[in-house]
Structure 1
Amino acid sequence: MSKVVAITGAARGIGLATARALKARGATVVIGDIDDAAVREAGASLGVEALAVDVVSRASFTDFLDQAEGTAGRLDVLINNAGIMPIGPVTGESDADTRRCIDVNVHGVMLGTKLALDRMLPRGRGHVINIASLAGVLPTPGLALYNASKAAVVAFTEATRLEVQGRGVHVSAVLPTFTNTELIAGTRSPKGGTNCEPEEVAAAVAQLIGRPRPQTVVPRRLGAQIRLGTLFPDRLKQAISRRYGLDTIFLDYDPEARKNYDARIRSC
């Protein structure tokens, strides 16, 4: 894979796993994160260029892409991965958490997409991949804010894809299920289910780069189930949610286990 790839939110989790997977496949990778120390440590461990970036700032994001291209060459792929996940009752979500979640998860993706398209469309090639979530199509109690942000990413990505199709540039969304990263700290897995690993999402991203599609669900087997589920009546959907414990996972959680994560996303 002889491509130049920039990844945001790559100091840890899915972003870091994706950087590792793409580098192993021959890509030239540049990673960015708002946590300067963590991203530089990650870059050193992988042997890739690592830069600080605040995805809600046009100046910072532009500088990140400028430096990435200055170091690695013309950008082939931008992976908008940076995101945060506050959880809990909607009435308990602070206004500050709401603004920060929408800023990072929605505005950051929109900004990155626009900045990348400004570079890619004149060249007639490129690929923007936005890391959304199954939460964007499966509203869940205790996850209203995150649901809303990821639903926006899904809709924005698809509308943008349709707008630029036929001009040599691909725009895709990746929708992972529960993935073992800090975002789900203090929660439990759905009954009878197992969480994805970041490496599974990374492998799906690598496949998407090799064979662009509008959208991919991780794991792929859930895609058909999700599409079928949209046809179910509300009463059946809620019964299924209760069966798997999805109605309480993000309401009945361990705040102590999430303390470090919550503090980090609120201090950025």
Structure 2
Amino acid sequence: MNERVKGKKILITGASSGIGQYLAIHIARQGGIPIMVARSTARLEIMADKIYDTFGVKSYWYEADLTNDANWKDIIDQICYDHGSLDALINNAGMAVFGLVSESKWQDIDRMISVNVKSLFRTTHQLLPHFLQQRRGHIVNIASQAGKIATPKSAVYAATKHAVLGFTNALRMEVEEKGIFVTSVNLGPVRTNFFKQADPTGNYERAVDRIMLEPNEVALTVVNALFTKQREINLPSWMNSGSKVYSIAPVLMEKAMQGQFSKK
């Protein structure tokens, strides 16, 4: 059991599947208290029951559509009312619809911005005064390597993750002397249901299958880093090395990786 996590109340968005569900499981396994948010109440209820049966930990869940800002604001208020102090926030919810900008539907663009950026800003902004008052806390933002290297057919998704990285890096500097940790988690492709919506054809998922990360392993790495001062978690590490080369020589990198970049 991780003593840093034991007894800590940790809010997780997008907790009903993929990385989010494994975050809740590993937090409970290490003695923490998951507070889970997602649209699927049926899955959240099942998860809460399984977590209690397996670990003897009572977890909590809330139904929320993060694209509905007014409703989400009210639910955050309710969570704070129900639980008093929170110890950490993991902004995990995210979505994508891959495609050329010229062929994209505005509702898909708007939803990506709402889920990936606006709801993350909303949650952080609303909980930050609470963390500042208690002079402790950890904010973890699940970003993407796409926030460092943009590729064709992911212009909007990459833009949202660039926004998350910019926000995270600035916020870290604002609160680092006030007892609050801020970490970005920059991921390559992860084997989740994310791609069923992002690319229903399955072409991209098949193209990157051999380099896909396992959500269970990603979640364990994140939970093990909770309440430690860590600027970034980059998975896989070799992909982050590529982003550093890209920042130095973007034209060269785009030409060299054109085939890989165009696999969506």
- What is the root-mean-square deviation in Å for CA atoms of aligned residues? 2.1
Task: Say if 2:169 is the partner of 1:169.
Answer: no
Q: Deviations over 1:29-76 (max 9, x none)?
A: 110112333322333332321111233445533444444455555211
Identity %: 30
Task: Say if 2:244 is the partner of 1:227.
Answer: yes
The correspondence of residues 1-268 of structure 1 with structure 2, limited to 5 A, is 1-2=5-6, 3-47=8-52, 48-69=59-80, 72-185=83-196, 186=202, 187-190=204-207, 193-242=210-259, 245-247=260-262, 249-250=263-264
Equivalent residue letter for 1:108: S
Give the secondary structure class of the aligned counterpart of 1:188. Answer: helix
Shift of 1:191: 5.9
Structure 2 CA distance, aligned partners of 1:217 and 1:103? 24
In 2, are the aligned partners of 1:200 and 1:218 still within 8 Å (CA)? Answer: no
Alignment gaps of 5+ in structure 2: 53-58, 197-201
In 2, are the aligned partners of 1:14 and 1:202 still within 8 Å (CA)? Answer: yes
Shift of 1:113: 0.8
Equivalent residue letter for 1:118: P
In 2, are the aligned partners of 1:79 and 1:130 still within 8 Å (CA)? Answer: yes
Give the secondary structure class of the aligned counterpart of 2:119. Answer: helix
Q: Deviations over 1:132-166 (max 9, x none)?
A: 11111111111111111111111111111112220
* Higher mean displacement: 204-213 or 94-103: 204-213
In 1, are the aligned partners of 2:100 and 2:153 still within 8 Å (CA)? Answer: yes
TM-score (norm 2): 0.85
When the two structures are aligned, how many residues end up with a matched partner? 247
